[in-house]
Amino acid sequence: MAKSKLISPHGSDTLKILLLEGKEREDELKRAETLPKVVMTTRETGDLIFMGIGGFTPLEGFMTEADWKGVCQDMKMTNGIFWPIPVTLSHDQKFDAGTDICLVSGETQEIMGTMKVSECYKIDKEFECKNVFTTTDPEHPGVKVVMEQKEWNLAGPVKVLSESYFPKEFAGIYQTPTESRKIFEEKGWKTIAALQLRNPMHRSHEYLAKIAIEVSDGLYIHQLVGKLKPGDIPADVRVNCIDTLVENFFDKDRVVTGGYPLDMRYAGPREGLLHAVFRQNFGCSHMIIGRDHAGVGNYYGPFDAQDVFFKLWDGALKCKMLPIDWTFWCYKCGGMASMKTCPHAKEDRLFLSGTALRKALSEAGDVPAEFSRPPVLALLREYYAGIKDEDKVEVKMHGHATGDAKVKKDK
C-alpha cells in the first residue's frame, strides 16, 4: 500500500479509535448495564464520542488531575504532548480507583460507554476558567459550564459504545476522521485547509474559504453539530445554508463538507488551538484562523487566536495556521477585501459577522445584499419567521461584529 500523503494524527502515527464494534461491543454493552451509572452532560458525551472515533487522538480517556493541571497551566499533558483544553468528566459521587462505571448520555439516556476509574479528584474551577477562558466572569458561556460541573472529576480509560444520534440525524454531513481521511486520499489532496463553522456562511466566510482554496489542494468545511448557546442558529438550518452555498458558489471538486459532534466551548484562542489539534486528526494540514475565532462577546481581542499560534513551541502541533486578516465588504472597492488590501475608510466598509446577521434576522431587520448570498438569506429568513415570540433570544452586539472591538476585562 502506498504511503499516505496526509499529515499524521496528533501525537500518534495512527488514529486512536476507542469505539467498539460487533461482538466486542455487544458484550461490553451487556456488562455496562450491570455497572454504576454516571450521567454525562452534552459536552462530556460529545467528548466521549470524539475519543471513540479518533477525533481526540491520542487521548485514551478522561484526564487525570496531573494532565488537567498541565493542560490548564502549560497546554501540555504529563507525557509532554501538547493539548490546549481539558477533557474531563465530573460527577457528584466519588469512586474508588479500579471501579468500572457505565457512562450514560443525560440528553438521550443511552449507554454511551464504560470507564475504569483510575482517579477521583477535585479541581479549582476558577483556576481552570482563568487559564482556559482568561476570565471567571459567570456570564461567559464556557465559564458557566465549568462552574456548574459536579464536585468530583473522574479519570480513566474509556471504551465507547455509541455515536448517539449524530450518524442518523446528520447523515451525509457527520464524519469520522477515518472517513474524511479516505475522501482526501481518494482526491489526491495533500494540503487541506479546515474552515471551522458554528454559523451559516456569510460573505466573509466565503471569502476566507476561497482564499484558502487558492493556496491549498482543497478545503474542508467542518461544522459543529453539537450544542450551542441560546440564540445561535441550529445545526440543521446551518447545514442547509452551507450546502446551498457550496452547491451554487463553489467548485465542488475542491470542497468537502463535514460535521463533528462536540459542544462549543467559546474558549477563543485556546479553542482555536483545539480546533487545529482535531483537524490534524481529520487529515487537515492547515487551520484557517480569522477574526475572533471561537470567541464570544468581547472577551478576546480580534486576533488573540492568531497570536497564541505564533507563540507555540516548536513541535507542539503539525497542523499549521492559515492566518487571514479582518475581512469586510468595501463599497469603494466593489467587493470583499481585508485590512491588508483595502485603502478606504471605515465608513466605506460593511463589517460582516454571524452575530450581526443573527441580530438583523431575529429582529426582522434589513440585511444588506452584500452580507450573504440571496439563496442563503432566504433559508435563514424562513427559519426566523417560524420562531415564536416567546422563544426568541436577544442577540447582543459586540465590538468584533461592528469593527469597534474592545476586550472585556475580567471581573
- Of 181-195, 289-303, 374-388, give the lowest mean pLDDT range: 374-388
User: Does pLDDT of 157 surpass 80?
Assistant: yes
Instruction: Give the active site residue among 43, 181, 198, 373.
Output: 198
- Indicate if 198 belongs to the active site: yes
Residues 357 and 338 in one domain: yes
User: Phi/psi of residue 63, each to 5°?
Assistant: -75, 145
- The pLDDT-based confidence of 390 (bands split at 50, 70, 90) is low
Separation CA 335–CA 349 (nearest Å): 10
User: Does pLDDT of 8 surpass 60?
Assistant: yes
pLDDT value of residue 56: 98
Residues 250 and 155 in one domain: no
pLDDT value of residue 406: 55
User: Does pLDDT of 192 surpass 90?
Assistant: yes
Percent over 90 (pLDDT), the chain: 78
CATH number of the domain enclosing 126: 3.10.400.10
Residues 78 and 198 in one domain: no
- Of 62-66, 150-154, 224-228, give the lowest mean pLDDT range: 224-228
Residues 83 and 176 in one domain: no
3 state DSSP class of 203: helix
**Digit-coded pLDDT (tens) for 103-146:** 999 999 999 999 999 999 999 999 999 999 999 999 999 999 99
Give the mean model confidence (pLDDT) for residues 329-341: 95
User: Does pLDDT of 394 surpass 70?
Assistant: no
Report if pTM > 0.85: yes
Give the mean model confidence (pLDDT) for residues 321-328: 93
pLDDT value of residue 411: 45
Give the mean model confidence (pLDDT) for residues 371-397: 78
Long-range contacts (CB closer than 8 Å, 24 or more residues apart) made by 69-72 = 72/127, 72/128, 72/131, 72/132
pLDDT value of residue 227: 83
- Please, how many CA atoms are within 13 Å of residue 55, restricted to the half-sphere of its CB? 26
Domain count, the chain: 2
Residues 151 and 256 in one domain: no
Which amino acid makes up residue 380?
Answer: L
**Digit-coded pLDDT (tens) for 85-98:** 999 999 999 999 99
Structural domain ending residue among the three candidates 164, 180, 203: 164
Give the mean model confidence (pLDDT) for residues 34-59: 98
Residue pair 184/178 in contact by the 8 Å Cβ criterion: no
Residue 283: inside a domain, yes or no? Answer: yes
Residue whose cell numbers read 450521567: 39
Give the mean model confidence (pLDDT) for residues 205-221: 96
- Of 43-57, 68-82, 239-253, give the lowest mean pLDDT range: 239-253
User: Does pLDDT of 312 surpass 50?
Assistant: yes
pLDDT value of residue 404: 56
Domain carrying residue 241: 172-260+266-411
Residues 380 and 244 in one domain: yes
How many C-beta atoms surround the C-beta of residue 398 within 10 A? Answer: 19
Give the mean model confidence (pLDDT) for residues 36-57: 98
- Indicate if 254 belongs to the active site: no
CATH number of the domain enclosing 282: 3.40.50.620
Residues 187 and 334 in one domain: yes
Closest CA to 38 of 62, 59, 74, 2: 62
Distances (CA, A) of 87 to 69, 102, 296: 11, 18, 20
User: Does pLDDT of 361 surpass 70?
Assistant: yes
User: Does pLDDT of 62 surpass 50?
Assistant: yes
pLDDT value of residue 263: 94
DSSP state letter for 152: E
Instruction: Give the active site residue among 131, 153, 199, 298.
Output: 199
For the chain, give the mean pLDDT: 92
- Of 181-195, 242-256, 270-284, 379-393, give the lowest mean pLDDT range: 379-393
Structural domain ending residue among the three candidates 164, 197, 221: 164
Percent over 70 (pLDDT), the chain: 94
